[in-house]
């Protein structure tokens, strides 16, 4: 059984027009529309897409911090909407988040020891101070930081160290699912690799499931078992990491993969270049039919009609396009 099952999930926000009268109708912002996927225990699902694709909103809906307009979120066999207050408290413990900006995510008025131990004191209030400090020190050591640094403040650490502190805070209550909201985008490339490797090691040790959000496929492919491609709140393509990276079918996935830099100049000629022109449309007024059609090089009149359904192009590999076409990327260009 899947640990997490998301079925036809939609998140819609009411936006009041600026300088409008109180009785003026609100606009509807479709942040996520009909998203569906499964996540097994110990598995990593990478969610990729440009800024504004609805990735973070999807994660926050799973965490229970934004309201869901329709659809279901089933965690460990229980519907999030039907959970009692006690079950929701346990859900908050089982599902933790790691945020994009490592320094902004930490309270500057609290010591690192207080920050890391805060979830523990919230969910296990009967623990004595000595035990809380001991477990905080153990978790600091597990993420590669010295326990003696517990009395320092966040501003005394580098960005990579602050992100490790954020990881320690998320893991101290031993959750079952970690929602990583672009956890390495604010870090240097060398530090990104260290944090990704740390997450993979901890996942193996603690049997964690990870939802890894990013806009960079070159990062996602190294940690994910499967990849979920989003555009303007909608699901474009889903499949194993190998399928998406080696042979994407949807034009948007192909454009994202083609944008990954190739460090070896001799391999650039074999690396496909796919233009992705224009800006992301406003979610307040998404295009009809296929939402990607206004930027798609394959778009035709049929794309403006009905939304293309998700079709299985190979085993476990789904794509929503009327003109699905496999594109094989050079091995060295895609890795």
**Domain boundary assignment for the chain:** 1-15+28-224, 246-335
Helix/strand/coil for 173: coil
pLDDT of residue 333: 42
pLDDT of residue 176: 95
pTM for this prediction: 0.90
CATH for the 1-15+28-224 domain, from 3.40.1190.20, 3.40.50.300, 3.40.50.720, 1.10.3720.10 = 3.40.50.300
Q: CA-to-CA distance for 300 and 298, rounded, in angstroms?
A: 7
Q: Which two tokens stand for residue 8?
A: 């036809």
Q: Helices 112-123 and 159-171: crossing angle, nearest 10°?
A: 20
Residues contacting 193, CB < 8 A, separation 6+? none
Q: CA-to-CA distance for 86 and 94, rounded, in angstroms?
A: 13
pLDDT of residue 273: 62
Helix/strand/coil for 166: helix
Q: Which two tokens stand for residue 65?
A: 């911090």
pLDDT of residue 280: 86
pLDDT of residue 335: 47
Beta-bridge partners for 235: 230
Q: CA-to-CA distance for 334 and 166, rounded, in angstroms?
A: 30
Let me know: does 248 contact 327? Beta carbons within 8 Å: yes
pLDDT of residue 266: 59
Return contacts of 296-304, CB within 8 angstroms, 24+ apart: 296/251, 296/252, 297/251, 298/251, 298/323, 298/325
pLDDT of residue 267: 57
pLDDT values of the chain reduced to their tens digit, one per residue, 335 residues: 689 999 999 999 988 887 777 778 888 899 999 999 999 999 999 999 998 899 999 999 999 899 999 999 999 999 998 888 888 888 889 999 999 888 899 999 999 999 999 999 999 999 999 999 999 999 999 999 999 999 999 999 999 999 999 999 999 999 999 999 999 888 888 888 899 999 999 999 999 999 999 988 878 888 999 999 999 999 999 999 999 988 899 999 998 888 877 666 555 544 556 667 778 898 888 999 999 999 998 899 999 999 999 999 999 999 999 998 887 765 444 44
Let me know: does 203 contact 210? Beta carbons within 8 Å: yes
Q: CA-to-CA distance for 53 and 237, rounded, in angstroms?
A: 13
């Amino acid at each position: 059984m899947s640990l997490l099952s998301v079925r036809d999930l939609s998140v819609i926000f009411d936006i009041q027009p600026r300088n409008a009268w109180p009785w003026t109708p609100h606009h509807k912002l479709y942040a996520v529309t009909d998203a569906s996927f499964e996540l097994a225990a110990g598995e990593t699902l990478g969610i990729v897409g440009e800024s504004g694709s609805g990735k973070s909103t999807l994660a926050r809906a799973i965490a229970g911090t934004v309201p869901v307009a329709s659809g279901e979120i089933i965690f460990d066999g229980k519907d999030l909407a039907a959970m009692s207050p006690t079950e929701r408290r346990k859900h908050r413990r089982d599902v933790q988040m790691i945020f994009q900006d490592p320094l902004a995510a930490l309270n500057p008025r609290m010591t690192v020891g207080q920050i890391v131990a805060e979830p523990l004191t919230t969910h296990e209030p009967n623990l004595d101070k000595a035990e809380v400090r001991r477990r905080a020190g153990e978790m600091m050591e597990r993420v590669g930081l010295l326990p003696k640094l517990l009395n320092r403040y966040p501003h005394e650490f580098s960005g990579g160290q602050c992100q490790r502190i954020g990881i320690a805070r998320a893991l101290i209550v031993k959750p079952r699912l970690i929602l990583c909201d672009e956890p390495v985008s604010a870090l240097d490339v060398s530090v990104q690799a260290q944090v990704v490797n740390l997450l993979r090691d901890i996942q193996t040790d603690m049997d964690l499931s990870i939802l890894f959000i990013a806009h960079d496929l070159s990062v996602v492919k190294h940690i994910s078992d499967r990849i979920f491609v989003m555009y303007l709140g909608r699901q474009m393509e889903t499949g194993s990491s190998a399928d998406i990276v080696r042979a994407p079918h949807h034009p948007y996935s192909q454009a994202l993969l083609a944008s990954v830099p190739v460090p070896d100049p001799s391999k650039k000629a074999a690396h496909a270049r796919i233009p992705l022109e224009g800006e992301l449309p406003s979610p307040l007024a998404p295009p009809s039919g296929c939402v990607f059609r206004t930027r798609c090089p394959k778009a035709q009149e049929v794309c403006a009609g009905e939304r293309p359904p998700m079709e299985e192009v190979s085993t476990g590999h789904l794509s929503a396009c009327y003109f699905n076409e496999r594109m094989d990327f050079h091995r060295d260009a895609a890795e």
